[in-house]
Amino acid sequence: MLVKQIHLLNLCILMQFTRTAVASREWAVWYKSEQYCVFKGSSVDFGCTYNYPADYRVKILKWIKQEPKHIKPVYHSDPEQVDLSYRRRTELANEDNNCTLRLHNVSESDVGKYYFCFYTGQAGSEGTYLNVADSPRNVSLTAHSARLIHNGNTLTLICESSAKPPARTYSLFKMNGTDVFQIGWGHNYTVPVVGPGDSGQYFCLAQNALGSQNSTVITIRVQDSKDPDHLLFVRAALGALLFAGIVTVALLYLIKRRKQPSSSISDITENLSNTVLTSGLESSQSTGSLHNLQMPEATASERISDNFAVIHSSDTGISLS
């Protein structure tokens, strides 16, 4: 849905169609209005007429603006005397007794009180006041918290604008597909406890007497505490820790095995057979014959030793029968 910006077409101009006389009956300046209110960037005419004695001749015409600490020449019969900020922006009506001033491309810096004077440089005491107004500009909507917010937290949306006079009303809207709903008013809007239903697109509208403007759309996402993405992250972290633990244990085991001395099975067999063979020869020499030697029934371990002895005896050429 296209959100249209709303602008008031009416120009705010405060006009009082009365003539104010300044000075005496012969020396006088009249201002058509005491106050003007116009759009920034537009032009404005300060209606003005003046009078002077017939036997005088006007040599200098000028408009001045009253500043806090000095007087700024807005228009002067000598263009070189005009303040730089007003050059090529002001012009005077070229008629007798008509001192109407036209000011082009009005800006906020032009706000102030203006006076017309001629010849002696004396200004009238009344003068006229210019006020520059503008509809809301640079409207923005920001989230006080992050745009990705967890379920149950607080969400605060702030709508701001630049306007003169300041924006009178702020309205907050939420978009749901092609539908737009107004959900609140005011400069700040707070959702104390957000839920999944608060996810979506938001924008605000600022309005004053001269017009209105909406902000760009921002997207708010409410993340549930049981979000699959969150669980996936936790599982990945636990898996990484488990893998690191397994690798550490395996490395410690390998280091420990390398530090322990290892014995060859062939060395053990050779030592065992030599021991059995030596014992058998000593017994044969003491009795004279192994056939006449009566021995008790051998145990299982002794029979194993005998087998090793027979094998090694045959290898060395010694007969035990």
Domain limits, the chain: 20-126, 135-223, 265-316
Closest CA to 117 of 85, 68, 76: 76
Q: How far is CA 13 from CA 16, 104, 129, 133, 162, in A?
A: 10, 16, 12, 10, 21
* Per-residue pLDDT at 192 exceeds 50: yes
Task: Choose the most confident range, by mean pLDDT, from 55-59, 193-197, 201-205, 258-262.
Answer: 201-205
* pLDDT value at residue 208: 94
* Per-residue pLDDT at 4 exceeds 60: no
* pLDDT value at residue 197: 86
* pLDDT value at residue 14: 32
Identical topology for domains 20-126 and 135-223: yes
Query: Which CATH number describes the domain made up of 135-223?
Result: 2.60.40.10
Higher per-residue confidence, 296 vs 104? 104
* pLDDT value at residue 122: 53
C-alpha torsion 220→225→231→234, nearest 10: 100
278 three-state secondary structure: helix
The token duo for 223 is 């993340």
Query: Which CATH number describes the domain made up of 20-126?
Result: 2.60.40.10
* Per-residue pLDDT at 286 exceeds 60: no
* Per-residue pLDDT at 222 exceeds 60: yes
What number is the average pLDDT over the span 138-164? 88
* Per-residue pLDDT at 273 exceeds 60: no
Average pLDDT, the chain: 76
